[in-house]
Each structure stands twice: as C-alpha cells, then as structure tokens.
Amino acid sequence: MAAARKQPEENGAKPQTRIVVGLDTSVVAREALALAARLASSVDARLKGIFVEDENLLNLADLPFAREVSFSGEVRDIDPARMLRAMKAQAESARRILARIAAEAQIDWSFDVRRGRPLQSLALHAAREDTLVIRPQSGAAREVGRTVRAATREVHADVLLVARGAGAKGALVVPAIHQAGRHVARPGRPVASLDDGSSPGEACSAFAETLAARIGAPFTRLSARGQAPADLAAAARDAGVGILVVNADWFGDDDDAARLSAAAGCPVLLLGKERAPLEALNESLLTAKKGE
C-alpha cells in the first residue's frame, strides 16, 4: 500500500479539490473523518483536517470566577495554560488519526491548527473547490445553518452534513470484498439525488449518478416536487440510502439541511455550485469498459 503524502497547501498549481473536515478525538468525529476519506478517494480529492482550539473555552478559562469539576467531584480553578496544553495534545492525537485513515485510503492529506469557533473556522478559509464536512450537534442548529449558508451560498463550496446517527459507516462503501483470492460482490447502500425538476437539480443528479458508478453502488432519484423535507427523509430511510446529494439552493430554510440529515438516517451532500458530471470519473469509467 502506498503511503499517503503530505503536500504543501500552496505550490502555485491549479487549486485541487479538497475535503475539509473538523477534527477532534471523539468516536463520532472518527466516523465522519473516515467518511471524508472515502469521499476524497471517490472524487480524486485530497483530505484536509483542521483542529480548532475553541476560543470560547480559552476565554472562559481566563475568567477569575471560572471553576472546573473533576470526575471525582473536586472543584478547582481552571488553569488556562493547562487547558491549552490539553488542546495541543488533542490536536496531535487528531493528527495521528488523520494520518492513519488517509494512509489506509491512499490519499494526500494535510493538517492545520486554528483558533476560533469550530464551525466558523471551517468556513472562514473555504474555497469554491472545497467540500466542508460538518457534524451538526444538538443546540447548535442556528450556527450550523449560518455555516451552511456561508459555505454554499457565498463561497459556493459544497457541504457534507453528517448528523449523529446518520449512518456514516455505511455510506460510500465500495461494494466488493476480497475472499479466497477473488472479489465477491455485495450490495452497497444507494447514492441518491434529490430531483426537483430544475436544471441545477438535473446537474445534481448527474453528479450523484457518476459518484455511484465510481464506487459501484446503486443510484436512485428521489422526486422533490411538492415534497417537504420530512417526506424526503422518510423516502431516503425507506430506500436505505447511503448518501443523499442535494442542490443547496433547494432549501428555503438554512436549518432544513441539518434536520434532513438527522431524519434521513444518512449523510447529506449539499452542492453549492452547479457543475457538470464528474468528467474525469466518466472518462475513467468509459476507458475501463473499453478494456473489458
């Protein structure tokens, strides 16, 4: 297996597609990171991990009345220096996890540490070529909505929403296993697109269909005409969808996308820019078919 290569962010070359994911050391974050790596491998992108030193926590630690309670029940003053050391240790642990997962997926990767608010920091330096991986958390729906709006409608980047319980492990899994020297096919969870009958919706479906072909998964369309997000979530669950691809402009409310990801039981990929199908992927698929 070839080792993943760590390359500089700026080398004067044409900007490369990046899958940008916020990192911490939780199990949920690792599942989202593994999904981000599979997406990067599927669309020939590089993976960028960002660990954010939460400025809110650091500001809280500076307050004279701030206290912390240990697991044993001991109440003590918060030491800002100790908190910062703990964050730096978490950052290094997250970097090692990123390096391992990227190496397993055989993709290029990079890592950065920033200070700020976690979701805002992801969107702050986003580029049109990026896909931001966001994990909506309880109590942060409004902040998620603002981040989604800034990324998809202002920068025109893409956003992959991975809500808790969204089945990240089963999304974008290559449906083949190696047994006794041969590949044995197994059914994969479908890649679905939300089809609203518009031109952007058609481009979204073309992108999703090519992505499904790349990983060998089934492709299906979910009609959005006259449907509410709750109806589409139910349809996605009934179809066992692995990942749902949606034109970001379809949502009227910025919070609808996060609610859809949680209710659909699958990650939701919001396309912030209209594009043709994955041309390079189509060419590779046609070449492979000619060689059969």
User: Got the DSSP string for 230-266?
Assistant: HHHHHHHHHTT-SEEEEEGGG-SSTTHHHHHHHHHTS
Residue 108 CA to residue 92 CA, distance in Å, equals 18
Residue 130 one-letter amino acid: D
Rounded to the nearest integer, the mean pLDDT of the chain is 78
- DSSP strands (E only) in 59-190: 67-69, 75-77, 109-116, 130-134, 158-161, 176-179, 182-185
The residue-averaged pLDDT of 171-184 equals 55
pLDDT classification of 189: cutoffs 50, 70, 90: confident
Where do we find the tokens 């994955």? 278
% of residues, the chain, pLDDT over 70 = 73
The residue type of 165 is: G
Report CA-CA distances (Å) from 90 to 87, 175, 243: 5, 34, 30
How confident is the model over 205-238, as pLDDT tens digits? 999 999 998 888 899 999 888 888 888 899 999 9
For residues 214 and 228, what is the distance between their CA atoms, to the nearest angstrom?
30
Let me know if 198 is exposed, middle or buried by CB neighbors in 10 A (0-12, 13-18, 19+). Answer: middle
The predicted model gives 159-182 an average pLDDT of 66
Q: If you average pLDDT over residues 171-197, what whole number do you get?
A: 66
What pLDDT was estimated at residue 120?
84
Q: What is the pLDDT of residue 228?
A: 84
Alpha carbon distance 107, 104 (integer Å): 8
Give the model's pLDDT for residue 2: 34
If one compares 144 and 174, the residue with the highest pLDDT of the two is: 144
Q: Are 236 and 245 in contact (CB under 8 A)?
A: no
pLDDT tens across 113-147, in order? 998 888 888 888 889 999 999 887 655 677 888 88
* Contact (Cβ atoms closer than 8 angstroms) between residue 75 and residue 94: no
> Per DSSP, what are the bridge partners of residue 122?
none
Cβ–Cβ < 8 Å for 50, 146 = no
Q: Confirm whether pTM is higher than 0.85.
A: no
CATH 3.30.230.10 fits 18-59+77-177+184-291, yes or no: no
Range 139-176 burial, b when 16+ CB lie within 10 A, else e: ebeebbbbbbbbbbeebbbbbbbbbeebbbebbbbeee
Question: What is the distance, to the nearest Å, from the Cα of residue 42 to the centroid of all Cα atoms in its chain?
Answer: 13
- pLDDT band with cut points at 50, 70 and 90 for residue 103: very high
Q: Give the Cα separation of 34 and 41 in Å (integer).
A: 11
Backbone angles phi, psi at 48, to 5 degrees: -120, 120
Q: Which of 104-108, 118-122, 279-283 has the highest mean pLDDT?
A: 104-108
Tokens 């004279």 correspond to: 64
The band of 258, judged by pLDDT with boundaries at 50, 70 and 90, is confident
Q: Is the pLDDT of residue 108 over 90?
A: yes
66 pLDDT tier (thresholds 50, 70, 90)? low
Strands (E), the chain: 18-23, 46-54, 67-69, 75-77, 109-116, 130-134, 158-161, 176-179, 182-185, 191-195, 219-223, 243-247, 268-271
Question: What is the predicted pLDDT for the residue at 281?
Answer: 45
Q: In angstroms, how far is the first alpha carbon of the chain from the final one?
A: 25
Whether residue 3 is predicted with pLDDT greater than 60 in this model: the reply is no
pLDDT of residue 143: 80
d(Cα 64, Cα 77) in Å, to the nearest integer?
8
Which range (11-25, 46-60, 79-93) has the least confidence? Answer: 11-25
pLDDT at 65 over 70: no
Is pLDDT larger for residue 273 or for residue 193?
Answer: 193
pLDDT at 280 over 70: no
